[in-house]
Amino acid sequence: MFRFFTIKKWYLWSWIGSLIILSSLWVQVKIDVKINEWFGEFYDMIQKALGKPNAITIEEYWASLFSFIVLAAMYVGVAVIVSYFTSHYLFRWRTAMVEYYHSVYEKARKIEGASQRVQEDTIKFSRIMESLGTSLIEAIMILVEFMPILFGLSIGIPIFFFGDWEYGLIVGALLWSIGGTIFLVILGLILRLVGVEYDLQKKEAAYRKILVIAEDDGTVRPKSIEELFDDVRSIHFLSYIRYLYFNIGRIAYLQANVLSAYVFLAPAIVAGAVTLGVMQQIIRAFGRVEGSMQYILKAWPTIIELASVYKRLREFEYKLQIENSESEIKT
């Protein structure tokens, strides 16, 4: 799967391409930091305008909105370029995988589900990596940029439970996020979600295979097809039940998450220790840090699917190695 990074033919795309994606994501995060600063300035201006008539001019108001439009346009432009380039990058990765599988397909075709691995799982792998890989890198970069900002904004204001401790807001965000993530990971392990997803794909592959065989072989009995579909039905229903329990915990936590920043800021808001602009900056920075730490929480269903695809491809490549070894022994 990772020959893309070791084959000389793909060095330009794999290594230079990775550097381009990383650099573009860093620029995107830097623009997001500027947008966060704009929120503080804008809402302070709104507070000033609401506190006293004609405290600001209409020109100042429009100028502030225009500056946001410029930042937003830059953010959108970089995001679109990153998305477009990443799609090409990951298709090259898929091509490197498929070229290897094609080169050994005479042996690979003997392995059950080979066609599904080569066609369906490689495209799933590239599509999941497109959304998951870039968002993971972006989450890490956001943490690096926004944690110092959150620390700077929280100095000197009272925080719920932590009082005047200068690290209170950061620690609160980390504890809330990490606690939720650990809870979700444990819940996923208890429910065996990766295993269920893996079994589901295997049952679907067996059912699809017998349907293909039945097209050319009139001896395949409908009863055999029905039995395999019963297996598919059973594993799907099991999956629905497992995800029902999982989503109860996941969705409940994400709903409670909406109020977390306001809970920690409650003493500062009641005491009037922050302006409206600073409060908006803190809440947005808190949300960005919290969101990055909750990456696994929000992306868990996709991570499970990726883990299942990875497991199937690794098993496929392992069987290929066995086929190669047996061929070498015979020769």
* CATH code assigned at 70: 1.20.1560.10
Please check the confidence at residue 278 and state whether its pLDDT lies above 80: yes
Q: Are 122 and 98 in contact (CB under 8 A)?
A: yes
- Cα separation of 59 and 94, whole Å? 52
CA 193 to mean position of chain CA atoms? 17
Q: Which domain holds residue 47?
A: 3-330
Q: What is the length of the chain?
A: 331
Q: What is the pLDDT of residue 222?
A: 62
pTM, to two decimals? 0.70
Q: Which residue has the higher pLDDT, 190 or 294?
A: 190
Query: With pLDDT > 90 as the criterion, what percentage of the chain qualifies?
Result: 15
Q: What is the pLDDT of residue 42?
A: 92
pLDDT tens track for 18-41: 899 989 999 999 999 999 999 989
327 pLDDT tier (thresholds 50, 70, 90): low
Please report, as a single letter, which amino acid is at residue 283: I
Domain count, the chain: 1
Give the residue carrying structure tokens 């599509």. Answer: 127
Please check the confidence at residue 69 and state whether its pLDDT lies above 90: yes
Task: Please choose, from the candidates 297, 317, 304, 292, the residue with its C-alpha nearest in 3D space to the C-alpha of residue 251.
Answer: 297
Please check the confidence at residue 8 and state whether its pLDDT lies above 80: yes
Please check the confidence at residue 178 and state whether its pLDDT lies above 70: yes
Q: What is the pLDDT of residue 308?
A: 77
Instruction: Identify the top-confidence range among 43-47, 312-316, 322-326.
Output: 43-47
Comparing 146-150, 160-164, 230-234, 294-298, the range with the smallest average pLDDT is 294-298
CA dihedral of 227, 229, 233, 235, whole degrees rounded to 10: 80
Q: What is the pLDDT of residue 62?
A: 94
- Cα separation of 190 and 255, whole Å? 22
Mean pLDDT to the nearest integer, 93-97:
83
Give the residue carrying structure tokens 């409940």. Answer: 252
Q: Which residue has the higher pLDDT, 154 or 80?
A: 80
Residue ranges in 104-167 assigned as alpha helix (H) = 105-108, 114-116, 122-154
217 pLDDT tier (thresholds 50, 70, 90): low
Q: What angle do CA 284, 290, 293 make, to 5 degrees?
A: 145
Q: What is the pLDDT of residue 215?
A: 65
Mean pLDDT to the nearest integer, 180-208:
82
Q: What is the pLDDT of residue 108?
A: 66
Give the residue carrying structure tokens 């003997």. Answer: 110
Please check the confidence at residue 128 and state whether its pLDDT lies above 70: yes
Average model confidence (pLDDT) for the chain? 83
Give the residue carrying structure tokens 């306001």. Answer: 262
Classify 157 as helix, strand or coil: coil
Q: Return the structure tokens found at 2.
A: 């990772």
Q: Which residue has the higher pLDDT, 208 or 251?
A: 251
Please report, as a single letter, which amino acid is at residue 84: Y
Q: Are 187 and 246 in contact (CB under 8 A)?
A: yes
Q: How many alpha carbons lie under 13 Å from residue 193 in its C-beta half-sphere?
A: 22
Q: What is the pLDDT of residue 284?
A: 87
Q: Which residue has the higher pLDDT, 79 or 293?
A: 79
Please check the confidence at residue 96 and state whether its pLDDT lies above 80: yes
Q: What is the pLDDT of residue 181?
A: 79
163 DSSP β-pair partners = 159
